Amino acid sequence: MNIVRILFSYVIFPGFIFTAVVGLFLTWIDRKVTARIHWRVGPPWFQPYADFLKLLLKETIIPEGSSKTLFLLGPLLGLIGMSIFAVMLFNMNFNPSGSFVGDLIVIIYLLALPPIGIIIGGSASKNPLASVGASREMTQYFAYELPFLIALVSIIIKAGGSVKFGEIILAQQAQGPFLYSISGVIAGVVIFLCIQAKLSFVPFDIPEAEQEIMAGPYIEYSGVTLAIYKMTRAMMLLLLPLFLISVLWGGFANWWAILKLLLIVVLIILVKNTNPRLRIDQALKFFWIGIGALSIIGLVLAFYGL
């Protein structure tokens, strides 16, 4: 019985299928809003599902000379990481005082899985553009991870030194969301920009820059493997804003959370559509010097309880 429940939660409800369906819907919102900004009509609502179905039923090619195991492992890593992350996030929000121990450190590792999968897959696919994309992905990961971690540390300080996800949410329910303070706003801005980079959306879409290296690490992927990559990205588009809401905006166990989620997603899309792409060295400087300094200021403010 218990095993059935665990399987259900990993595969169907908060886990894989639910997040994938909602995430694909959010990618439709992304494409539609982008189209409206361009003054176009945009695709119909079932477009991401049609894309996904088509990719699932197409031929999958494994390039000659590539490392077969790693090439196929790459897409799966990110998918597994995101499914587990979804289960933890939902469990912690709807049952914050339960016995399920999930802490921020595990979540940091789970969030590292999709970029690792992209790096492995890109390097295994024996294509020069894919290797360039993989190396850029690696650099960018190191760039945004530093301010992201510092912002999370300031959140831990605000929650009274607890790294447990449930306690962070309980602390917010007791004393109001962390976002309504100076250090909270700073942490929110930092995490928002890191989400933009984690999703590789436009100012930070350096790893897969379409105009210079085609699709970067994804260039050799076709059929099912490409579908899995697309779905992992869709799930991240749902889960990362939810993560931001649950660590800073008081959790998402109420109906307001849908509005908050849509607000954050539309903000991400607006930033995506109104910015040019940075070079990889500019992105590194931006994250380590600019945003890094901002996040340290936030950390100090959080330390003094502001």
Using CB under 8 A as the binding rule, the residues of this chain from 26 to 85 that contact another protein are: 31, 35, 38-44, 46-47, 50-51, 53-61
For residues 279 and 206, the answer to whether their CB atoms sit within 8 Å is: yes
Closer to another protein by CB, 15 or 216: give it.
216
Burial class (CB in 10 A: 0-12, 13-18, 19+), 250: buried
**In this complex, which beta carbon is closest to another protein, that of residue 41 or of residue 174?**
41
Burial of 128 (0-12, 13-18, 19+ CB in 10 A): exposed
Nearer to another protein, 52 or 287 (CB): 52
Q: What angle do CA 120, 116, 29 make, to 5 degrees?
A: 110
Provide the β-strand partners of residue 164.
Answer: 103
Residues 88-117, mask of contacts with another protein (x by CB under 8 A): ------------------------------
Looking at beta carbons only, is 215 or 242 nearer to another protein? 215
> C-beta of 38: minimal distance to another protein in Å?
6
Rounded Cα gap, residues 228 and 76, in angstroms: 7
The 198-227 site mask, x for binding another protein (CB under 8 A), equals ------------x---xx--xxxxxx--x-
Closest CA to 179 of 197, 207, 162, 154: 154
The first and second tokens of residue 133, run together, are 């994309």
> Pattern 244-283, binding to another protein, x per CB under 8 A?
----------------------------------------
Give the footprint of another protein on this chain (CB under 8 A).
Answer: 31, 35, 38-44, 46-47, 50-51, 53-61, 210, 214-215, 218-223, 226
